[in-house]
Amino acid sequence: MGVAIACAVPHPPLIVPAVGRGQEAAIAQTIASFEEAARAVAATAPDAIVVLSPHAPAYRDGFFISEGPREEGSMAAFGQPQEALSVAVDCGLAGAIAREAGRHGLAIAPGGPGGSQIDHGAYVPLWFLSRALDLQQVPVVRLGLSGLPAGDHRMLGRAIARAADETGRRIALVASGDWSHRLKEDGPYGFAPEGPRFDVALADILSRGALEELFSLDPALCEGAGECGLRSFQIMAGALEGTAFESSLLSYEGPFGVGYGVALFTVLDEPGDSAAEVRAEQEACGHDPLVALARAAVEAYVGEGTVLEPPRDLPEEYRRRRAGVFVSLHERGQLRGCIGTIEPQQPSIGREVVANGISAATADPRFPAVTADELDFLSYSVDVLAPAEPVDSLVQLDPRRYGVIVSRGHRRGLLLPDLEGVDTALDQLAIAKRKAGIGADEDVQVQRFEVIRHSAGGEARRG
């Protein structure tokens, strides 16, 4: 179980007909896309809906979460008190999210008096979902944003995904947020040149599903644009990390001076399978497309001096998703080159494999460049890294399952999991420290990560 589908949606109150009274006709594309997204969510038959809202109670140093057991809301603030909703809260899932977030130092709390009132940032998407789902049967968890850094919002997203997995919930994640509020002089906040530039950048990121890029947007651009949804989308990005998904930007409009975008992210392979299970499945197939791509990239570069373009028949998740990748070459059982990236540097996993495969063959400082005469004797493996998470204790490490990253200041060292001769967590940390040039007695920050190791079909052609 886990996140089955996610969507990024706006929350203009006037899109609800009782409030808009005809004005909603000016954003007909947004309405149609909202309805399409609601149908897509319903088609996944979720056990619960998690809604992220910029207008829920907000804390400087923590996150609001539904307290339950029910929440109610209306459009009374917009002159239509008869337009109302009531939903059940999934208290079990809410508690699991709070516990998982707490393990990583994130404070989670209900909103106090009035905190059970559904804000309009959550009300608008729930209104559309109620047309496609019975919200009396599908409970909701509502979460707010905070004044914490982007990395903490990413961590909350990871906690949501883990909590859903641990509780066996199949969830739909709704990231509510408008885009720039400064698109037109006669808009609610006037015009700023950053407004349309921000929306163009965000549209590009969401349409490509390159959610990691949400964390590298220029802060001055975001501030000048007057956006309100970025942190919602960053939480969503954290929840989708490590999954393969299809992304589509269904629509974008801004007739009232505020950007309204609807984007859909349909998970292809639900999280929950362990890296070992995935590896076993790959080995049973007898071949692996990433291993074949690494071999082809090295041979094209070493033999012809050309940089290979990933083939069109490469599985879609490798053409769309981004991740850190390590490519390892062995010759007659001995390491011949290993180069990788902790964070993705290329637009897709496929391109990451090509770039790192070439580097492993030609730029590993421990070895001379591979020659054409060696190509038939090389064996290949490709490790695709899951997002790293902080570690507080040695008991959280397992050198067979997890790789480690140690860092002190600008020095950082990484060691992959399941390496011959690395039998304990202490061994693993000691080697990673040495690789980073960090003294054995120096304190370090430690992170762990899982990998999916692709090796099927990577054997050398000649012994």
- Cβ atoms of 256 and 179 within 8 Å: the answer is no
Q: Which superfamily does 275-454 belong to?
A: Hypothetical protein ph0010; domain 1 (3.30.700.20)
Show pLDDT as tens, one digit a residue, over the chain (463 residues).
699 999 999 999 999 999 999 999 999 999 999 999 999 999 999 999 999 999 999 999 999 999 879 999 999 999 999 999 999 999 999 999 999 999 888 999 987 666 689 999 999 999 999 999 999 899 999 999 999 999 999 999 999 999 999 899 999 999 999 999 999 998 889 999 999 999 999 999 999 999 999 999 999 999 999 999 999 999 999 999 888 899 999 999 999 999 999 999 999 854 444 444 544 444 455 578 999 999 999 999 999 999 999 988 888 778 888 889 999 999 998 999 999 998 899 989 999 999 999 999 999 999 999 999 999 999 999 999 988 888 888 878 889 888 999 999 999 999 999 888 898 999 999 999 998 999 999 999 999 988 888 988 899 998 7
State residue 269's pLDDT score. 56
- Cβ atoms of 251 and 30 within 8 Å: the answer is yes
State residue 315's pLDDT score. 84
Q: Tell me which DSSP letter residue 172 carries.
A: E
Closest C-alpha among 149, 151, 129 to residue 139:
129
State residue 282's pLDDT score. 47
User: Residue 81, Cβ neighbours under 10 Å: how many?
Assistant: 11
- Cβ atoms of 351 and 367 within 8 Å: the answer is no
Q: Determine which helix (DSSP H) or strand (DSSP E) holds 329, and give its type and residue range.
A: strand 325-331
State residue 158's pLDDT score. 94
The separation between CA 377 and the C-alpha centre of its own chain, rounded to angstroms, equals: 38
Cα dihedral sign for 283, 458, 402, 101? negative
Query: CA 446 to CA 454: how far, in whole Å?
Result: 25
Contacts of 357 (CB under 8 A, 6+ apart): 293, 294, 295, 297, 298, 327, 380, 382
For the chain, what are the domain ranges? 2-269, 275-454
State residue 278's pLDDT score. 47
Looking at the DSSP bridge assignments, the partners of residue 244 are 269
Q: Which superfamily does 2-269 belong to?
A: LigB-like (3.40.830.10)
State residue 343's pLDDT score. 86
Query: CA 53 to CA 17: how far, in whole Å?
Result: 21
Strands in 170-176's sheet, in edge-to-edge order, are: 140-144, 48-53, 170-176, 2-9, 260-269, 244-253
State residue 274's pLDDT score. 46
